Amino acid sequence: MKKIAIVGAGPAGVLLAHYLLRRESGYQVDLYERLSDPRTTSFSTARTFPISLTERGLHALNQIPGVEAAIRQIGLEMWGTHFHQGNGKMRSTTRAKPLMTLDRTRLVMLLLDQLTTTYDASRLNLHFNCPCTQINPEMQTLTLPTHVAQYDLLVGADGARSMVRGQFFNTELFEFAQKYTPTDYKSLILPRSDADLEPALEAGKIHSWRIKDGTIVMLLHQPDGSMSGVILFSRQNNQVASLATGQSVLDFFRQHFPEVGQRMPASEAEAFANRPVARILTIRCSHYHYRDSILLIGDAAHAVSPSIGQGCNAALEDVVIFDALLDEYSDHLGAAIEQFTIRRKPDAHALVELGDYAFPSTTGLFVEFVLRQRLADLLHRRFPDRFAPSLSTLVFESSVPYAEILQSHQSWIAKVKQSNEKNFKT
């Protein structure tokens, strides 16, 4: 049996374990995760965040028996977005197909449960609190806190700051670009409120607020009635990061985002002040494989800005693509991982570009963006053969390759890029 070592039990790593173990060729999978098993540690909302899954991610997950029904238990469907405006009014978009929103860690827990109920230790071993610290590609070994393990294929599914990817730096012709986006973020959690607050925030919709300096709050309902999401703000013009006390947090939200401020209890304001600012890293690599025995997938290969809501979707889609390559190359691992680079790179690079520039950060361009989306979708509904759907519809409601979407929206991307360069001069 071929030994596959997967480093990182995030959505990509755990889904890959499922896909490999159900293959008839019989793989032995060891999954190594530096953190503890999320199913045995108390759940902390401060350590996680909601993600939206679209066509691409849901298709990947739904291939595993039982997962579709289990996701419905922990997720909520979102049928569009309400963009709230300062004057109490709002613009709304609707979707023909809903997004499924759920918590990232709960998704991982669900996939782990399905794994351990389906496979036993004869083929699957999960190792938590087990960071991989070193790799020896010549000997095909990885170093763990308690032992050194041998592999036939090592998969780096260890996120944007991938340790496995670090190994590629010593190899010939590897090119790599890491960029922090000019926007930072902090998580935001509003507990369930039974008070009749106006305006009511409709369930089944993403709620978004934006102020003139480009700061955005995005909140989604959770199955327990709470709301969670993020506030995204420019690193340069950064009033949010300097809010150091609960009172200053409350004052800020009540002044700039009153619908959020009135729903924020003092305890969350205090927690928000103490929560660290998170940076957003985007990653581009010239290849995702090394020789015939190391592969990168998910954020380790192509981390992207969360503003486009596709990082996890693309990470899950990677698994489907790799699985199809194993079919095509009759489980010849070396050929499949080499082809993975060839097939996936154009889309992964296009996704990073779309993540950076599909959605504008200035209010003026944002209004133009919303109007363009509406017009494109309207024309597409009336004359589907002559007009393509909008950029948003293509990203969120189709599985059209990202490279094709980028190609057909080059002029819009160039316009946003130019506007961002003017606004975020460093």
Q: Which of 91, 113, 131, 275 contacts ligand FAD by CB under 6 A?
A: 131
- Measured from the CB atom, the residue of 309 and 360 that comes closer to ligand FAD is 309
Q: Does 231 bind ligand FAD (CB under 6 A)?
A: no
Q: Which of 103, 259, 299, 323 contacts ligand FAD by CB under 6 A?
A: 299
Burial of residue 258 (CB within 10 Å: 0-12, 13-18, 19+) is middle
Shortest gap between Cβ of 96 and ligand FAD (angstroms)? 19
Q: Does 355 bind ligand FAD (CB under 6 A)?
A: no
Which segment (2-10, 258-266, 352-360, 392-400) binds ligand FAD by CB under 6 A? 2-10
Half-sphere exposure of 318 (CA within 13 A, CB side): 36
Q: Does 35 bind ligand FAD (CB under 6 A)?
A: yes
Q: Does 52 bind ligand FAD (CB under 6 A)?
A: yes
Cβ burial 29-64 (10 Å sphere, 16+ → b, else e): bbbbbbeebbeeeeeebeebbbbbbbbbbbebbeeb
DSSP per position, 229-260: EEEEEESSS-SSTT--SHHHHHHHHHHH-HHH
Q: Does 49 bind ligand FAD (CB under 6 A)?
A: yes
- Measured from the CB atom, the residue of 179 and 380 that comes closer to ligand FAD is 179
Cβ 165 vs Cβ 287: under 8 Å: no
Task: Please state, as a whole number, how many other Cβ atoms lie within 10 Å of the Cβ of residue 405.
Answer: 23
* CA proximity to 317, closest of 395, 406, 408: 395
Shortest gap between Cβ of 395 and ligand FAD (angstroms)? 10
Q: Which of 61, 102, 132, 249 contacts ligand FAD by CB under 6 A?
A: 132
Question: Between vectors from CA 154 to CA 150 and to CA 160, what angle results, nearest 5°?
Answer: 135
Size, binding site for ligand FAD by CB under 6 A: 33
* CA proximity to 74, closest of 54, 96, 100, 49: 100
Close Cβ partners of 110 (under 8 Å, ≥ 6 residues apart): 67, 70, 71, 74
Joined tokens for residue 411: 């002029």
Q: Does 32 bind ligand FAD (CB under 6 A)?
A: yes
Q: Does 81 bind ligand FAD (CB under 6 A)?
A: no
CA–CA gap between residue 162 and residue 421 (Å, rounded): 28
Q: Does 310 bind ligand FAD (CB under 6 A)?
A: yes
Q: Does 5 bind ligand FAD (CB under 6 A)?
A: no
- Measured from the CB atom, the residue of 180 and 418 that comes closer to ligand FAD is 180
Shortest gap between Cβ of 25 and ligand FAD (angstroms)? 23
Cβ 108 vs Cβ 38: under 8 Å: yes
Q: Which residues pair with 23 in a beta bridge?
A: none
Q: Does 312 bind ligand FAD (CB under 6 A)?
A: yes
3-state secondary structure of 160: coil
Which segment (20-28, 47-55, 83-91, 172-180) binds ligand FAD by CB under 6 A? 47-55
Q: Does 12 bind ligand FAD (CB under 6 A)?
A: yes
Q: Does 356 bind ligand FAD (CB under 6 A)?
A: no
Pairing of strands 148-150, 141-143: antiparallel
Q: Does 33 bind ligand FAD (CB under 6 A)?
A: yes
**At how many degrees (to 10) do helices 311-328 and 333-357 cross?**
160
* CA proximity to 56, closest of 374, 344, 377, 412: 344
Q: Which of 4, 5, 6, 13 contacts ligand FAD by CB under 6 A?
A: 13
Shortest gap between Cβ of 152 and ligand FAD (angstroms)? 19
- Measured from the CB atom, the residue of 241 and 367 that comes closer to ligand FAD is 241
Sign of CA dihedral 124, 332, 67, 345: positive
Q: Which residues pair with 186 in a beta bridge?
A: 231
Q: Does 38 bind ligand FAD (CB under 6 A)?
A: no
- Measured from the CB atom, the residue of 64 and 196 that comes closer to ligand FAD is 64
Q: Which of 71, 157, 264, 376 contacts ligand FAD by CB under 6 A?
A: 157
Q: Which of 309, 355, 360, 389 contacts ligand FAD by CB under 6 A?
A: 309
Which segment (8-16, 81-89, 334-342, 401-409) binds ligand FAD by CB under 6 A? 8-16
Shortest gap between Cβ of 310 and ligand FAD (angstroms)? 5
CA–CA gap between residue 275 and residue 343 (Å, rounded): 39
| Footprint on this chain of ligand FAD (rule: CB under 6 A) | 7-13, 32-35, 49, 51-52, 57, 104, 131-132, 157-159, 163, 185, 230, 298-299, 306, 309-313, 315
